[in-house]
Amino acid sequence: MLTDEEIARYRRQLVLKEIGGEGQQRLKSARVLVIGAGGLGSPLILYLAAAGVGQIGVVDDDHVSLDNLQRQVLHGTEFVGEPKTRSAAATVLNLNPHVEVQLFTTRLVAENALSIIGAFDIVADGSDNFATRYLVNDACYIAKRPLVTAAVGPFDGQLTTFRAFETDTDGQPCPNYRCLFPAPPPDGTVPACSEAGILGAVAGVLGCLQAVEVIKELLGIGESLVGRLMLYDGLQARFSTVRYAWDPENPVNGKNPRFRDLSHHIASDA
């Protein structure tokens, strides 16, 4: 049940017919895992906590640095040098003491991915490298967990949702990350944020949209982004959406799947 203080806190959500008391209780009971407490994870974690998601898991093995603060608004100057997970927990506690934060101050690897992901209802991936994105995709399929994933560039970003363990209305498997991106780009073709730069507010836009999609999935409201890739162009102030479909050749849930566990990720973790 919601306490009087929670009812007052979430009043603006409770009056929404799509949420109401039942929906707010579902958010309170929900467990969301966030991969990365950086530019995407910062607004994502803040808005999930503000919305009253009961338990938020945060996976990040990095420490707060001064040049993070331009876009990673979850962290303050006083936390420079501290683990990002510890900073995240302190900020969430200050924002909403009703939220429990579970910290995983470690790198997500093949050996721990299923045990961590399996403890949560839904995963939101805000990682900044392709190896982790493929690992999270494969683990979410095996663990049968919805995945909301986002990525950002200097002035642009993209967002989509995967429920690859389900089938669509035609009885076909739903697509996964490998249907959209069959292989990572060649090394050196996608510069890191430290090289290419980024407008911090762009990460804020995508992280906030990611929070919206996570909440929609938890409540079963609105139209899901399954099979749709939302694209944001900050310089042109433009949103667009493109559809994509299940690839029967993909190695996870294709017609002849090759990846039935996470062993194919172990070599790349070294």
Task: Round to whole Å and give the CA distance between 137 and 149.
Answer: 9
The bridge status of strand 228-233 relative to strand 122-125 is: unpaired
Query: Mean pLDDT throughout 135-162?
Result: 98
The domain segmentation of the chain, as residue ranges, is: 12-269
The pLDDT value recorded for residue 39 is: 97
Supply the DSSP symbol for 29. Answer: H
The pLDDT value recorded for residue 267 is: 65
The pLDDT value recorded for residue 185 is: 85
**% of the chain at pLDDT higher than 90:** 93
- Lowest mean pLDDT segment, chosen from 14-23, 146-155, 191-200, 247-256: 191-200
The pLDDT value recorded for residue 190 is: 73
Which CATH number is associated with domain 12-269? 3.40.50.720
Query: Mean pLDDT throughout 211-232?
Result: 98
- Per the prediction, the chain carries an average pLDDT of 95
CB contact set of 34 (below 8 Å; sequence gap of 6+): 41, 44, 45, 48, 56, 57, 58, 59, 123, 124, 126
pLDDT confidence band for 67 (50 / 70 / 90):
very high
The pLDDT value recorded for residue 127 is: 96
| Long-range Cβ contact pairs of 65-72 (< 8 A, separation 24 or more) | 68/38, 70/200, 71/38, 71/39, 71/42, 71/198, 71/199, 71/200, 71/201, 71/203, 71/204, 72/37, 72/38, 72/39, 72/41, 72/42, 72/203
Tokens representing 39?
């530019």
The pLDDT value recorded for residue 33 is: 98
Task: Round to whole Å and give the CA distance between 174 and 165.
Answer: 7
Tokens representing 139?
């683990």
Q: With 90 as the cut, is the pLDDT of residue 94 above it?
A: yes
Tokens representing 47?
């808005």
The pLDDT value recorded for residue 270 is: 37
Query: Environment class of residue 240 by beta-carbon count within 10 Å: exposed (0-12), middle (13-18) or buried (19+)?
Result: exposed
Query: Environment class of residue 169 by beta-carbon count within 10 Å: exposed (0-12), middle (13-18) or buried (19+)?
Result: exposed
Query: Mean pLDDT throughout 82-108?
Result: 98
Q: With 90 as the cut, is the pLDDT of residue 161 above it?
A: yes
In the chain, the N- to C-terminal Cα span, in Å, equals 46
C-alpha of 199 from chain center? 20
The pLDDT value recorded for residue 195 is: 77
Identity at 164, one-letter amino acid code:
A
Query: Mean pLDDT throughout 150-179?
Result: 97
Tokens representing 246?
């299940």
pLDDT in tens, 3-34: 999 999 999 999 999 999 999 999 999 999 99
CB contact set of 129 (below 8 Å; sequence gap of 6+): none
C-alpha of 212 from chain center? 11
Q: With 60 as the cut, is the pLDDT of residue 268 above it?
A: no
Tokens representing 223?
């139209």
Query: Mean pLDDT throughout 117-146?
Result: 97
The pLDDT value recorded for residue 269 is: 43
Q: With 50 as the cut, is the pLDDT of residue 198 above it?
A: yes
